[in-house]
Amino acid sequence: MNKNTKIYIAGHKGMVGSAIWRTLSENGFSNLIGASSKELDLRNQQAVRDFIKKENPEVIIDAAARVGGILANNDFPYQFIMENMQIQNNLIDSALQNDVDKFIFLGSSCIYPKLAPQPLKEEYLLTDTLEPTNEWYAIAKITGVKTCQAIRNQFGKDYVSLMPTNLYGTYDNFDLNTSHVLPAMIRKFHEAKENNHAPVTLWGSGLPMREFLFVDDMAKAVVFALENKLPDYLYNVGTGEDLTIKELAEIIQEITGHKGEIIWDSTKPDGTPRKLMDVSKMHELGWKHQVDLKEGIQKTYNWFLENTENFKQVKLK
């Protein structure tokens, strides 16, 4: 791998893809290509095939996905399973057909069973049932992992899957209808502060435990996978540390400066009780996260404040 290697980043305008682009550029990679959703519909098989054939990248990084929290997964199950499978299948198959030797597939910790032992090890994949609130997305991502593994086994290509824990950071999605828990909390606490420190109502009991990784650390894991031939097909990427949703809310409340009450709506679902990643495989190879949670949330809130008028709004149809 050299700095002029032609690398296509699918989803380069999203939170994860843009962080990967930034990090690769900072590391001297100069031959990066991307296409916006207006320029290339990744759900369109022929369009993706034509694009990959024309551009002929040496590496493809798949950071493109239909994403969202519990509400979005519940309201749009068909889009979450079908569109994610279309996107990844088109990219993976086009990579194989055009003899792309290296493919990095990004998934999610939700691929693991709901009640799997903690922390989550890679070998727990497909050992039990999934969490119902995000099974549509999880099933799509599992098929991507197994497809890359099949190509690795059958054709000997360096196709590897990285499963990040819950990601957050600059360019996150703060739309309360589709966002994940951390950016949703940032927006809720900020707006409540602006509204005379009004009470903030949050879903569930606050008892589930979650792990969070700053998106720039995820991008560095991708660069690590790019510069090294990883010996296995699947790797967890996270901090190996978690906290309760209640503790997270208190940290965000402090950082945003909200002084009002927090109300927990126990009629709303909690989701998986705990999702702590075992990241020992990546640690043994030499990658480890660098940004701690409070520092990352502060950076994310600073970005939110700078972009309050035009932050990303995702609308599903």
Binding-site annotation: residue ranges for NADP(+)? 11-17, 106-109, 141, 164-167, 180
| CA-based end-to-end distance of the chain | 40
- Characterise 286 by phi-psi region: left (phi > 0), alpha (psi -120 to 50), beta (else): left
- Report the catalytic residues: 137
CA atoms within 13 A on the CB side of 175: 14
- Binding-site members for substrate are 188, 203, 210, 270
User: In 3D, which of 135, 134, 112, 138 has the Cα closest to residue 124?
Assistant: 112
165-to-175, 275, 277, 298 alpha-carbon distances in Å: 20, 8, 7, 19
Rounded CA gap, 54 and 59, in Å?
14
* DSSP 8-state symbol, 14: S
Two tokens at 146?
């197994």
Q: Extract the annotated binding site.
A: 11-17, 106-109, 141, 164-167, 180, 188, 203, 210, 270
Specify the amino acid at residue 261.
E
Burial tier of 59 (Cβ tally within 10 Å: 0-12, 13-18, 19+):
buried
HEC profile of 207-266? CCEECEEEHHHHHHHHHHHHHCCCCCCEEEECCCCCEEHHHHHHHHHHHHCCCCCEEEEC
Whose tokens are 């050299």? That residue is 2
Distances (CA, A) of 121 to 63, 109, 125, 243, 300: 22, 10, 8, 18, 29
